[in-house]
């Protein structure tokens, strides 16, 4: 089944403790992206990647890192999480940028205390 898989689904952590949210897609998509969703704000882009080893900042990149060492994986790294990063995170992929529909993962609900 074609899908975008995120892990974990839920995560509670403490301020300052590094964490990684994984994202993997099995559709050979070139484009991958991370979003966060907060009440009243809608989905906002954190980082995106047009292909392997090519990443760029979205609208709200502060406090996050990403890497794209292989086509299928696009992990989101929080080096020193803070409470304002408590949010619902989604990974998405697309065959080739904006001209195609996106497939979203099921989401990761992160709470930083």
Interface with other proteins (CB under 8 A): 4, 31, 40-45, 48, 50, 56, 58, 88, 90, 92, 97-99, 101-107, 109
Torsion of CA 23, 72, 95, 109, to 10 degrees: 0
CB of 13 to other proteins, least distance (A): 19
| Residue whose CB is less far from other proteins, 39 or 62 | 39
Contacts of residue 99, Cβ cutoff 8 Å, sequence gap at least 6: none
CB of 113 to other proteins, least distance (A): 20
User: Taking Cα atoms as reference points, which of 34, 35, 80, 37 lies closest to residue 55?
Assistant: 34
Answer whether 33's CB lies under 8 Å from 48's CB: yes
Measured CA to CA, the distance from residue 72 to residue 57 in angstroms comes to 19
Tokens of 40: 């009243």
| Residue whose CB is less far from other proteins, 63 or 107 | 107
CB of 45 to other proteins, least distance (A): 7
CB of 16 to other proteins, least distance (A): 27
| Residue whose CB is less far from other proteins, 50 or 77 | 50
| Residue whose CB is less far from other proteins, 5 or 13 | 5
């Amino acid at each position: 089944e074609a899908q975008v898989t995120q892990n974990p689904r839920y995560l509670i952590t403490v301020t300052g403790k590094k964490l990684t949210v994984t994202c993997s897609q099995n559709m050979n998509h070139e484009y991958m992206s991370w979003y966060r969703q907060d009440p009243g704000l809608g989905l906002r882009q954190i980082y995106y990647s047009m292909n392997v080893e090519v990443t760029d900042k979205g609208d709200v990149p502060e406090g996050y890192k990403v890497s794209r060492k292989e086509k299928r994986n696009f992990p989101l790294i929080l080096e020193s999480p803070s409470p304002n990063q408590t949010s619902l995170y989604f990974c998405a992929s697309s065959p080739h940028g904006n001209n195609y529909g996106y497939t979203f993962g099921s989401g990761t609900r992160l709470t930083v205390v």
